[in-house]
Structure 1
Amino acid sequence: MEVSPLSVILVKSDSKGDRLLFRYPFHIQEKNEPTSTKRKSPYTLPVSDDLLLSAQSMSNINKGNLIGFSDEVLSSLFAVKMELCNKKFELKVNDVRFVSHPTQLQLRNKLKDGSGHMLINMVFALQAVASQSVVKCYHDVSQRMGIALRHEERRCGFVTEQTQQMTSTHDDGFQNNHEAFNIILEKCILAKNIKKLYDDLCGTGLVNIRINRWIPLSFCLPQKAHQWHIRGKIVEPEDIDRCLNALRPYHSLLLLYPVPQLNDFIALDGSPSLLRLFSQYSPLKNLQTLAADADLTLTHVFELTAHLVYWAKATVIFPICSTNKYVVSADAPLHRNSPLIEKFDEAFPGHNLLKVISEYSLPTSLGQKCNPLSHPSQQSHLVKTIIWMLQHHLLLQLHTYVQYMPLDNLRPAKGSSSKHRTMSNTPSRNNNFVSSPYPEHSRAESESGTSTVSETPEPRSEADMFPRNFNLGDMSFTSNEEEKQDYQEELLLDFPDDERSSVFKIPATNNPEDLRLFARLCRKNYFKGEHHIEEIMYLENLRRSQLLQLLDKFRDVLLTYETEDPAIAMFSCSS
């Protein structure tokens, strides 16, 4: 879906009447009437080709431009009554949708007839199929333009001066309006502002102009701004909001530009907090550490992160560390003629992108890539290449999720290995996952063979599996077998009988601390395939080794698989 505007139209209405002052672009064909639609005789019957051409003639879009509307028609459409001022205006005609925010101005100097008010309306012409979020964004920028023009009219009479120049140019008697628009574009500051606004919206989606060389107007069209780094995907503001609401202190910030290139953006924002954030920035730090190093509150760092992400200056990742596991993104543009190959060679001379990224054809952790005996410069080079590939969305990070599956028919047959089990109905956002019943480095590989899960347990309600009204309390443990069985029964009292019998077969249940932790995590629904281990570690204040050992000990009832983090999945091309 194309989100760029078809045209920007400026209309005014005052005591002298209404008039279209300027439109951009203006060097386009005004009519779209194929001559072949005219039949030679009024008595001939229409044929299918005529009907098709007639339907096409109803279109007011030609090669991305607005056609078929005269200036007089547009003027009468958008010179609305005062009752409609300072409200959202939306009108659909054929395959075009017009959006604006008509603004009433109190003139600094009254007109000759004594009138002191003027209606100014900056209208954006969009494709009719544009989503409501796109329409809302264009209404927002029209409203901001109205506010800026109202301020400048009150300050120095800017709007009155500009409209008089435009009106007098139209009255000079040009053969067509295109010539008048050219002269207006050369003379009028407001016309130049409108052209710059249109070019920015069609180009990057990032608007940065100064109305009358004085009032700054900044605006981001996220559906356009994010397309350059997330190719072929429309990012809606609602998607960004969901991601930012899912931000956690263990996430990290990844800038898409070098810090020196963001100086203009910092100047536009004018926030000293951004300078402090950039001075301590590193994709190896999580947001909590970054907040402490920059001497900012965590809430404020979240706000700055949201600001940078919305403006397509940064993305959200997990901090780069040795335990991270990466794989090539499913739709990474890695064909032979990809421009990224030459771009990578400029950033890392002597290294080929295809060769470097081929090492991540299978999920690979950085710990496997790092040689403890290698020179620090080699490890630094590895981190830099990872950062570059993440900035260009070539790599996808995989996280380990845990699924509680205690029934016997979901465990491999005796004598077969459980390492290569696969899940057919795994809750995942995509198919880029690798399944295993326990995390890597959890135990030595001593078995071989494969087994495929083909059956799933009959679904039960969450309350049946993990009720929350059970309190463990303080317990004392003895070596007496009867008392040990009693505390086992008490810890798993709320579990179904068949699940308890499966869990009791695990040797780790003899350890009260392991069983207590297992039961606690089950009841908090961490083992339902919705929380990766980094999130569990953060929420429960657990060490990685502690959690990995638990998953290893209860591997007969816990199945793990690897997929992307849904909280930041919107920033990957394959999501």
Structure 2
Amino acid sequence: MEINPLSIILVKSDSKGDRMLFRYPHATNQERVSNQRIKRKNPYLLMINEDHLQSMPCPTSNIRDGNLTGLPDEVLSTLFAVKSELCQMKFELKVNNVRFVGHPTLLSSRKVKEVNPSMLFNVVFALQAQANHSVVKCYYDLSKRLGIALRHEERRCGFLSSEIKFMVSTHDEIATRTEDEEETLSDKSAYEIILKTSSLAQDLKSAYDSLCTSGVVNLMVNKWIQVNFCLPQRVHQSHKPGFIMNPEIIDRCLRCLRPYHGILLLIEPRKLLDSLPDDASPALRRLIKMCSPLISLQTLAADADLSLSQVFQLTGHLLYWAKATVIYPICENNVYVVAPDANIEDKLIVKFKKLFPDLSLYEVLSEFSLSMSISQKSNPLNEPQEQKQLVDLIIWLLKNHLLLQLHTYIQYLPLPLDTSESETKSQDGSSPVTCIENETSWTLDNALNIRLNTVRSIDEIYEYRTDKFPIPSEDIMMLDKFCKLGYFNGGHHIEEIMYLENIRRSQVLQILDKFRHILVTSEHEDPAIALFYSQP
């Protein structure tokens, strides 16, 4: 998979030259044997990097079994040891089908009389060349964070210098072994020895393994400074396999987020609180404790004694780390349907059976094959325990992205309000279209076939206030207001109108009923929520 790193590499450059310090995964046994065969027999012979580059073969691929291969250490150290002018900047290099990403960092010596006044180091990630731009950007961010942490520890206690000194001495010791010693220790490489002893090498390996498995990196560099990182393209797959969640999608969701939205935690609150670092924000802890899928973000802000902007920022943090998802607060009027990309795995069925032993997951989802509201599924005569089970069932289905909520959107299509049958011509004037106004609402297809010259404005609705078709003036004024505000242009659902105008659902439904001949409704998902569902 293109989001997994091929390798993690540490390179340094100073007055003593460029040096590959550590790379993981290491070279395979077969590659080491091949390298030993071509190794120069004269231990005092110097190999010039430029000659090595010119003599290097040009393979078409540098990836084998998901690992980086075919590029010697001398070549990589020369490529990654950039000039000081390029430090503290994004480093990106493509070689064949491999893309290298890093953040070169320049260190000044801690000692005034040091012969080596400065040193450059670079933590580089090797990725597949076709990796998405968002993935490359995330790996660059991690390289930058690691560089900042190592620079901090170097200035504090010289941690990086001591680690580099040990790595260099290990490489030199392996390089100066006699042929007899190499045959005895041929199953070991300098990288394997370094990994067993160096805490920095162990941290880099831990980062690599975490990126390939969970996507969450939690490191305590030198047991002092913490580095936390999340690869959203990987971490969101724990809840939705195969779905690539790029940071840009989360940013779009946050731009669509409104105070009437809510959040649903994807893991248990206590478990989430235990996973937070010791220096986590107290505001985040309060939000998690007060969070409920039954309340809106605005209510959550009041309950947690936080500003709405703080709640939005913390919500974005939870969304990025795949700890929560956006929903509309659960209530009896919510309408749900089976998600278009619902993935029912065996382990999901097992989890469902443990929580709801009396129910079948397939039967439950079949009931939502057509859109259904909670009020339609619930029975007023049910016991409170049964009502709670229904809410818990909806929450579990939403957590596992098996249900998608639909909202009612309203489109104003002004038409003649005759109480009898009226005939109009089609747009091309070739054949008449008969429009019968009855108890059913106009469909969108019929409405769009009406000629524009038959359209009446809202002002003309006042002329139809007869005894046979009585409409209170207050309702007409509300219709006029909603149309002018753009609520009935098909881009605002009922819940949004309720929030913006601080009115009850019954008032909106009343307008829909009285003006059903000119108001067309449609049901589809909220853009802020739909971003968390991959489209078929």
Q: Deviations over 1:430-471 (max 9, x none)?
A: xxxxxxxxxxxxxxxxxxxxxx648456899xxxxxxxxxxx
Deviation at 1:93, TM superposition (A): 1.3
Deviation at 1:6, TM superposition (A): 1.1
Give the partner amino acid of 1:256.
L
The match for 1:278 is 288
Deviation at 1:499, TM superposition (A): 7.2
Instruction: Give the Cα separation in 2 of the matches to 1:541 and 1:388.
Output: 30
Q: Is the 8 A contact 1:406 1:503 kept in 2?
A: no
Instruction: Give the Cα separation in 1 of the matches to 2:204 and 2:292.
Output: 39
Q: Is the 8 A contact 1:370 1:379 kept in 2?
A: yes
The match for 2:521 is 560
Instruction: Give the Cα separation in 2 of the matches to 1:505 and 1:68.
Output: 82
Instruction: Give the Cα separation in 2 of the matches to 1:136 and 1:459.
Output: 51
Q: Is the 8 A contact 2:59 2:70 kept in 1?
A: no
Instruction: Give the Cα separation in 1 of the matches to 2:59 and 2:450.
Output: 59
Instruction: Give the Cα separation in 2 of the matches to 1:459 and 1:294.
Output: 53
The match for 2:63 is 61
The match for 2:84 is 82
Residues 413 and 198 of structure 1: CA distance in aligned 2, closer, same or farther (over 3 Å): same
The answer to whether structure 1 residue 548 and structure 2 residue 504 are counterparts is no
Q: Is the 8 A contact 2:273 2:288 kept in 1?
A: no
Instruction: Give the Cα separation in 2 of the matches to 1:422 and 1:177.
Output: 76
Q: Which of 272, 278, 295 matches 2:305?
A: 295
Instruction: Give the Cα separation in 1 of the matches to 2:21 and 2:314.
Output: 40
Bigger mean CA deviation after superposition, 565-574 or 389-398: 565-574
Cα RMSD of the aligned pairs, angstroms, is: 2.8
Q: Deviations over 1:60-116 (max 9, x none)?
A: 1223211111101001100111111111111111111111110011233579x7113
Q: Which of 104, 107, 113 matches 1:105?
A: 107
Deviation at 1:16, TM superposition (A): 1.0
Residues 458 and 148 of structure 1: CA distance in aligned 2, closer, same or farther (over 3 Å): farther
Residues 223 and 169 of structure 1: CA distance in aligned 2, closer, same or farther (over 3 Å): same
For 1:248-397, list aligned pairs within 5 A: 248-267=258-277, 270-334=280-344, 338-397=346-405
The answer to whether structure 1 residue 150 and structure 2 residue 158 are counterparts is no
Bigger mean CA deviation after superposition, 21-30 or 200-209: 21-30
Residues 213 and 560 of structure 1: CA distance in aligned 2, closer, same or farther (over 3 Å): same
The match for 2:14 is 14
3-state DSSP of counterpart to 1:226: helix
3-state DSSP of counterpart to 1:210: strand
Deviation at 1:240, TM superposition (A): 0.6
Deviation at 1:572, TM superposition (A): 2.1
Give the partner amino acid of 1:11.
V
Deviation at 1:135, TM superposition (A): 1.7
Deviation at 1:417, TM superposition (A): 6.1
Instruction: Give the Cα separation in 2 of the matches to 1:515 and 1:325.
Output: 28
The match for 2:210 is 200
Give the partner amino acid of 1:172.
E
The match for 1:525 is 486
Q: Is the 8 A contact 1:322 1:366 kept in 2?
A: yes
The match for 1:211 is 221
Deviation at 1:148, TM superposition (A): 0.5
3-state DSSP of counterpart to 2:534: coil
Q: Is the 8 A contact 1:107 1:160 kept in 2?
A: no
Instruction: Give the Cα separation in 1 of the matches to 2:23 and 2:325.
Output: 36
Give the partner amino acid of 2:118.
H
The match for 2:141 is 140
The match for 2:42 is none
Instruction: Give the Cα separation in 2 of the matches to 1:413 and 1:297.
Output: 52
Deviation at 1:30, TM superposition (A): 5.2
Q: Is the 8 A contact 1:407 1:502 kept in 2?
A: no
Residues 198 and 569 of structure 1: CA distance in aligned 2, closer, same or farther (over 3 Å): same
Residues 459 and 154 of structure 1: CA distance in aligned 2, closer, same or farther (over 3 Å): farther
Residues 388 and 503 of structure 1: CA distance in aligned 2, closer, same or farther (over 3 Å): farther
Deviation at 1:510, TM superposition (A): 3.9
The answer to whether structure 1 residue 189 and structure 2 residue 190 are counterparts is no
Instruction: Give the Cα separation in 1 of the matches to 2:31 and 2:443.
Output: 61
Q: Is the 8 A contact 2:263 2:326 kept in 1?
A: yes
Instruction: Give the Cα separation in 2 of the matches to 1:80 and 1:7.
Output: 19
Which blocks of at least 5 consecutive residues in structure 2 are unaligned?
A: 35-57, 176-181, 417-423, 427-432
3-state DSSP of counterpart to 2:189: helix
Give the partner amino acid of 1:70.
P
Q: Is the 8 A contact 1:344 1:353 kept in 2?
A: yes
The match for 2:475 is 514
Q: Is the 8 A contact 1:325 1:397 kept in 2?
A: yes
Q: Is the 8 A contact 2:414 2:456 kept in 1?
A: no
Which blocks of at least 5 consecutive residues in structure 1 are unaligned?
A: 34-55, 424-451, 461-494
Q: Is the 8 A contact 1:205 1:224 kept in 2?
A: yes
3-state DSSP of counterpart to 1:172: helix
3-state DSSP of counterpart to 2:155: helix
Q: Which of 236, 239, 256 matches 1:246?
A: 256
3-state DSSP of counterpart to 1:305: helix
The percent identity for this pair of structures is 54
